[in-house]
Structure 1
Amino acid sequence: LQKEVVSYASVQRYLTEIWTGRVDWSFGKTVAFTLMTLICPPAWFYFSLPLDTRIGRAPIIKFVCHIVSHIYFTILLTIVVLNLTHKIYEVQSIVPYPVEWLLLLWLSGNLVSELSNVGGGSGLGIVKVLILVLSAAAIAVHVLAFVLPILFMQHLDSDQKMHFVRTMLYLKNQLFAFALLFAFVEFLDFLTVHHLFGPWAIIIRDLMYDLTRFLVILLLFIAGFTLHVTSIFQPAYQPANADDGQVMRLASPEQTLEMLFFSLFGLVEPDTMPPLHLVPDFAKIILKLIFGIYLLVTLIK
């Protein structure tokens, strides 16, 4: 019944006016605005403010800023998870790096936003909660990496303490990697908006649309799993020599993406992957768990 009502031209016109907030922009101008907010963070910050203007009140502007905000958050999580600013085995202090402080600040904002919108979430609202819970667990692990050596490991030398700290930091990154995986799933929540606004609900039976939607969902899952598996192969301990560090050949997203692509055709198994000798022992368990979930998800899709 809902689709029949939405299919009427008058209803479509009314919903479109509400959606655009009477901001009469062409499709090209809307895309240009989206790219501007994505490329220019100050512009995104300005339009994200609660402006009492016609553009500031338009739902489509708020929606674009919300998408760009989530893209920034995903990029920030990726930088932390893949250790793009530093390697774990190079860490000499437990004090977080600037990018980690920025992530903590962003997560605090997400928590405030979630608490202020209790009961107003959509069907995928639980994903936001899972991201916050996993991130909170990761932060707790980082705090424990600082507290435990001081309280209970005073009998150990500095090298043994640092080995424990790097193991905990690796565990923290894996928790953030799970949060990153759910962050890609949260992108699906943005696609549901178009079922009420615009022509997507009208042409849902179109084969090319269904194929495009399938590819978008598949690419989102592949991207999330690619970054997660890559994070597993990030070395936590100092390699014995330069060649030893190169043995973990899945330390870049490009190599991991190639591996996951061929695994769709049954050409890759967990036991045939590069050795995990520079990471904690539980890394192989996480790898098999993530790889198994990936194969199940792609098989269902």
Structure 2
Amino acid sequence: MRKDKIDVVLAIDIGGTFTKIGLVDRNGTILSSHVFKTEAKKPFTDFKILLEKEIRKLLSTKGIRHTILGIGIGAPNANYKTGAMENPPNFRWGKEVPLKDTVLQIIDKSIYITNDANASALGELYFGMAKGMKNFVVLTLGTGLGSGIINEKKLVVGEYGMAGELGHVNVYPNGRECNCGLKGCLETYASVTGIKRTVFRLLSDSKEDSILRNYSFDDLTGKEISEAALKGDNIALEAFQRTAKILGSKMADTVAHLEPEAFILTGGLSKAGELFSQPLIQSMEASLFNAYKGKIKVFISKTVSNDAILGPAALAWQELAMEN
């Protein structure tokens, strides 16, 4: 018997290293997906050719009878309102990348776009551990620090479509140089790149033995730092303590602005688990206004990297529902 076609959305998650695409139904089931290298240092025209090839390959997957209702895209510095990536760090694609228009040339469907952290927040709201929550903040602690804010079950996008850039609130005036052009941004301290910088500062200021002395800056990852900390490496442990102190303080500031029910942590730093979350909670609590103490929860996302397309898929399903 011939099966009816399944309603799906095409979800695209663009990262500095890898791009993930997939077909996702309204229940968050990933029916088919592909992963390929973004090649962010090459021209955008190269990516466009590669993306079209991968989309065509995905849509030709045998065994799936589907109807694509729309397309959701999550990408760094993607503007919800303009459909462009604006000044994306770590990409050599120009100051304003016409991402929405480019995908529209490949496949003519309704397209919805937002930054990757916003998409992650929607993924948690509809398909992840934030089901049932109304107000929460997702922090993506990867190469940089992204954030997505959900208020009364709605994504906060702001007047110009770029709200929620908590990674670029200031920690120290004239502090560390940030790829955005400012100094002292939170993501230069609280991200995988940030903790690496802290590790190498600690190594240079100390003669203490450490597993981490065996790595160059480029070769060191958040995973190695986490594993060293779990083995009791003092340099790694101190790096997590310092990172948690800074991030926890700024999370307390965010609570004063938004009063979220919870923060949900994703990305490389979150993989350290309680080793990171416990000092983070302590730092946040120490900096909270009394009215908020003991009320704000901190969770580590259970969504794995390969499921990153659930964020842009959630965006597409949400927007389609609002239009109907």
Q: TM-score, normalised by structure 1?
A: 0.31
What TM-score, normalized to structure 2? Answer: 0.30
Computing the radius of gyration from Cα coordinates, the structure with the larger value is 1
- Which one has the bigger helix percentage? 1
Query: Larger strand proportion, structure 1 or 2?
Result: 2
